[in-house]
Structure 1
Amino acid sequence: MTMFERIEFISKKRGMSLREVNEKAKLGTNAIYRWKKQTPSVDKIKAVANVLGVSVDYLLGKSESQTTSDNKDLDVEEAIDSMRSYQGKEISESQREVLRGIIKGYLDNQGK
């Protein structure tokens, strides 16, 4: 699987389009699509990995593990991603931020 295919796969898994990933990583227009033929810089790969919650090694094909060193943050993102709507309405980014804080606070208190 190429880096582009890995990005496409994990983006779909996270419920994001490549355009959304591109914007959140603060890359130029359609930058990720150009990676089919061009090799991006490490800082751009790192930005995409951070947006997707995966390791750079996973994107580069050096690891099959999708998780980052901070599994709790990934678990929180997966929980939020699994909840795409509430009462028939899509969850906004601001609502996602609130949910992220609630879930992290809950998980932090469970460990005490």
Structure 2
Amino acid sequence: MTTFEIVKRLCEERKISINDLEKSLGYSKNTLYRLKTQIPGSDKLATIADYFDVSTDYLLGRTDKKRYYDLTEKDEQDIQKELQKMLDGLSTSGHAAFDGRTIDELSEEELEDRELLKASLESSIRLAKRVAKQKFTPKKYRK
């Protein structure tokens, strides 16, 4: 995928046109269309990357990760393990208010509550992991 195609897709995600992006960045008309055949200079590449909050490597098609702090497949696996540990801890400690009953014995309302709790915990773990990656990733790895 070319840099132009990546920029075009990012524009579509933001619901703006290539011409609108050129105006926002202060570029002359058709500047970004030249990305179809030319590799952009580092200054243009950095400006576009900053505008979309993505890495320059992503714009060049070198990686599928838009940002250095995006979660990887391993991060997702770790989140699921941590979530399962939390849910197991809740059910064995009696704090989940299901009184030691199995899932088959729970009412519809209790099952919905359990799913809402699970979704909330998963969302919290995911957010905490992203924030930690943003805060604690050394600058030399932030590309």
Q: TM-score range by the shorter chain?
A: 0.5 to 0.7
Taking the aligned partners of 2:42 and 2:56, their CA distance within structure 1 comes to 9
Please state which structure has a larger fraction of its residues in helix: 2
Taking the aligned partners of 2:30 and 2:17, their CA distance within structure 1 comes to 12
Taking the aligned partners of 1:22 and 1:8, their CA distance within structure 2 comes to 12
The aligned counterpart of 1:21 is 21
The aligned counterpart of 1:57 is 57
Q: What whole-Å deviation, never above 9, does each CA across 1:39-76 have from its counterpart, x for those lacking one?
A: 22110011111112211110011110123559xxxxxx
Where in structure 1 are there 5+ consecutive unaligned residues?
71-110
Q: What whole-Å deviation, never above 9, does each CA across 1:1-23 have from its counterpart, x for those lacking one?
A: 11110000111011111111112
Superposition pairs of residues 69-108 of structure 1, within 5 angstroms: 69=69
The aligned counterpart of 2:67 is 67
The aligned counterpart of 1:47 is 47
Local SS of the residue matching 2:33: helix
Q: Determine which structure has more spread, i.e. the larger CA radius of gyration.
A: 2
List, as ranges, runs of 4+ consecutive aligned residues in structure 1 with deviation greater than 3 Å: none
Local SS of the residue matching 2:66: coil
* Equivalent pairs, count: 71
Tell me whether 12-21 or 61-70 shows the greater mean CA deviation.
Answer: 61-70
Q: What whole-Å deviation, never above 9, does each CA across 1:78-97 have from its counterpart, x for those lacking one?
A: xxxxxxxxxxxxxxxxxxxx
Where in structure 2 are there 5+ consecutive unaligned residues?
71-130, 132-143
